[in-house]
Amino acid sequence: MKRIKMLIAALTAIVMLAGCGGGQEGGDSASDGSKIRVLTHMSNQISAIKEAFEQETGITVEVDNCSFDDLNDQYEVLLSSGSSEYDVLIVDGPNTAAYVSRGYLAPLDQYFTKDEISAFSSALVDQGTVNGSFYAAPMGDSCTVMYYNKDLLKEANVSWDFDQYDGVNSRITWEELIDLAIQVTSVLDPDGSKSITPVEFGQASQVYMMNTIPNSLGAPNISADGLSVSGVIDSSAWTEALNWYQKNVADGIFSRGVNGFEGYNNFYAGKSVFILMTTDSYNYALEGGMTPDNLGFTYQPCFRGHEKEVATACGNWTAAVNVNSKNQESAGKFVNWITYGAGNDLFLRQESMVPNMASRFTDDLFEVNPALKIASVEAGVTSVARAVTPGFNEYSTALSSMWEDIRNGTDISSAVSSTISTVDSAMDIYK
């Protein structure tokens, strides 16, 4: 039976890999360290910079592409079958703990000094560390930013000095921001006929963004061992956060029935006053028709009385080494180069991520995307990694569903109780 399962996994891998740009003859990677293979959804960006690594080390890098939608499934098929075909894996940060628990990743500690690891944003180190070992090095980061439509505030004759905030000692509160938004919509859309939303969440019902609400009240995402949400999402802080969100949806402050892309496009079209998005949304907004003259941004709000607990979202893609790689030393060198070394500077020019360490925030980057100034303050200070758990996919699915249910008016106690049952049952396999 075991041999049949392995055969099925291998055949499935061949079929999937054919759609991911791989499946070259020879199957597993060469074992003399002279060549490594990378599977990623960012093949263009990595292919554009790999020559610099090859010239520096003499190690050939082959890059295969897999679509974003298929990548996690492809990794699961390959790695669960013990394949050594790919040496370097580009892993979504929150999946690190899951991959380690399944024995897919090799520790990276021998390829980085302690000083090199500590140079990364602390939240990213936490995300990539499992049981004291470093498994996934951050290629970049992300950060939530509150954007606003300057034209709408001006048209409503509502003014506010956003320049007064430094993000360290001061930032707007949620209470102040909601009041501002209501002032604008009461002038521009008093009867709601224009469908202008006061405040929008760019990733409504997604844990990446929504969990910053309870986080900003001092609450964690999951238990310390990453295996339970009981005693967490039913805590007083989470209950306060969920009630606050549901009430503001019911009051028409936050939207209902609008997905992320719709929310973004509505903001670009002047259909929302404020929207919580990410740093890369700045350039997307310009592509969507906005201009630096009407696109404003500020730090993510805090709750009054919880100014020191404000939490922003973070995390992004990481580089890791396949535990079954026959070229782990060469793969480890590449991972160091593209995350800590000179390769990361080249990578950031290709991919508009937030830098993974403070020293990489430069005036050149700020000129291309001034919203990165927000990230330079938030990174490693207010940033909170998503739940570190081997069951992140199960956790994310269940909590995203809970946020959406609560958005739609479901009884909070019932939604939380059901989610606790779902998540904690799913975590049993990891205990």
Q: What pLDDT does 27 receive?
A: 53
pLDDT band for position 173 (cuts 50, 70, 90): very high
**What confidence tens digit (pLDDT) does each residue in 296-323 have?**
999 999 999 999 999 999 989 999 999 9
Q: What is the pTM of this model?
A: 0.89
Mean pLDDT of 15-24: 53
Instruction: State residue 335 phi and psi, 5-degree precision.
Output: -60, -45
Q: What pLDDT does 21 receive?
A: 59
Mean pLDDT of 87-103: 96
Residue 24 predicted with pLDDT over 80: no
**What confidence tens digit (pLDDT) does each residue in 34-76 have?**
999 999 999 999 999 999 999 999 999 999 999 988 998 999 9
pLDDT band for position 28 (cuts 50, 70, 90): low
Residue 96 predicted with pLDDT over 60: yes
Please report the sign of the dihedral spanned by the C-alpha atoms of residue 316, residue 389, residue 19, residue 23: positive
Distance CA 288, CA 266 (A): 10
- In terms of DSSP bridges, do strands 272-278 and 197-201 run parallel, antiparallel, or are they unpaired? parallel
Instruction: State residue 223 phi and psi, 5-degree precision.
Output: -60, 165
**C-beta neighbour count of 178 within 10 angstroms:** 18
Across the chain, mean pLDDT equals 92
Question: Which domains does the chain show, CATH number per domain?
Answer: 2-142+316-367 (3.40.190.10), 144-313+389-430 (3.40.190.10)
Q: What pLDDT does 20 receive?
A: 74
Mean pLDDT of 340-369: 92
Please report the sign of the dihedral spanned by the C-alpha atoms of residue 232, residue 236, residue 237, residue 241: positive
**What confidence tens digit (pLDDT) does each residue in 107-164 have?**
999 999 999 999 999 999 999 999 999 999 999 999 999 999 999 999 999 999 999 9
